[in-house]
């Protein structure tokens, strides 16, 4: 079983739709959680951190469920520019910088 | 401008011909790391370094070497490249500690024939 698992998609949704991605992680000792965005043939960039209480950044909402070892990302009112691959990322402990990446979920927003 | 710079960005090479992919950061970060990205497998860590002269293996270190003689540079060395090392490689850096953003280089596309 992979340490971090995501549905690879692809997801094709119309502009303006709401789309949700899910991610599960296997290591219950994981401490920090993130969503990264990666455009085609480009480097990953941090989209947002995920906090236990849930957090929102504009049209993006991230949720963490430690009991179920589950992370989600919700995108509301999707834009064409949201088309990208979204990577679920888990950091194992607070001191080290080791990140474990999911394989990514590919999203295409259609006009 | 804060950045992580990798070179070369694109390379086609032949099996067994030693090559080095350079990585340099201008943010005075202690931590640097190399990842490879392959379809269906996501990003996997090759090696990382917590500071000068401190390096350690990641999840897929076989066939690679690294060095950290200076804080800003973290080259990735393929002593004898093989076709299964054809991949997209990313260098990354950050300050050490939780909550610090990791910055990635633009990636190096490597093909070994």
A97 and B33 Cβ atoms separated by less than 8 Å? yes
pLDDT for A51-97, tens place per residue?
Answer: 888 899 999 999 999 999 999 999 999 999 999 999 999 987 655 66
- Quickly state the pLDDT bin for A7 (edges 50, 70, 90): confident
d(CA B75, CA B90) in angstroms, rounded, equals 11
Strand-pair category, A32-38 with A45-50: antiparallel
Q: What is the pLDDT of residues B71-106, one digit of tens each?
A: 999 999 999 999 999 999 999 999 887 667 889 999
Q: Do A44 and B90 touch (CB under 8 A)?
A: yes
CA quadruple A19, B100, A51, A94: dihedral, nearest 10: 130
Q: Can you give the pLDDT at residue A23?
A: 94
The pLDDT > 90 percentage for chain A reads 74
Q: Is B3 an 8 Å CB contact of chain A?
A: no
Structure tokens at B95: 């300050």
Average pLDDT of the residues in B2-28: 96
pLDDT for residue B55 is more than 70 = yes
- Candidates A56, A46, A52; CA nearest to A89 is A46
CB contact B45 to A (< 8 Å) = yes
Average pLDDT, chain A: 91
Interfacial B residues in 66-105 facing A (CB < 8 Å): 90, 94, 96-102, 104-105
Query: What single string gives the DSSP state of each residue in B3-69?
Result: -EEEE-SEEEE-TT--EEEEEEESS--SEEEEEEEETTTEEEEEEEEEETTEEEE-S--TT-EE--S
Q: What is the DSSP letter of B90?
A: E
């Amino acid at each position: 079983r992979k340490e971090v698992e995501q549905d690879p998609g692809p997801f094709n949704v119309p502009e303006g739709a709401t789309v949700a991605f899910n991610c599960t992680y296997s290591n219950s000792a994981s401490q920090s959680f993130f969503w990264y965005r990666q455009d085609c043939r480009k480097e990953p960039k941090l989209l947002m951190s995920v906090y236990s209480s849930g957090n929102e950044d504009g049209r993006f909402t991230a949720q963490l469920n430690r009991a179920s070892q589950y992370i989600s990302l919700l995108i509301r009112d999707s834009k064409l520019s949201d088309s990208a691959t979204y990577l679920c990322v888990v950091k194992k402990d607070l001191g080290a910088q080791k990140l474990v990446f999911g394989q990514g979920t590919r999203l295409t927003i259609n006009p | 401008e804060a950045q992580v710079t990798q070179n070369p960005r694109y390379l086609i090479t032949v099996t067994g011909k030693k090559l080095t992919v350079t990585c340099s950061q201008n943010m005075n970060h202690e931590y640097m790391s190399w990842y490879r990205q392959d379809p269906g497998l996501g990003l996997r860590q090759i090696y990382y370094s917590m500071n000068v002269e401190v390096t350690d293996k990641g999840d897929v270190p076989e066939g690679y070497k690294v060095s950290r003689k200076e804080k800003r540079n973290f080259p990735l060395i393929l002593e004898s490249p093989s076709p299964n090392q054809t991949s997209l490689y990313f260098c990354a850096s950050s300050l050490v500690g939780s909550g610090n953003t990791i910055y990635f280089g633009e990636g190096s596309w490597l093909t070994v024939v």
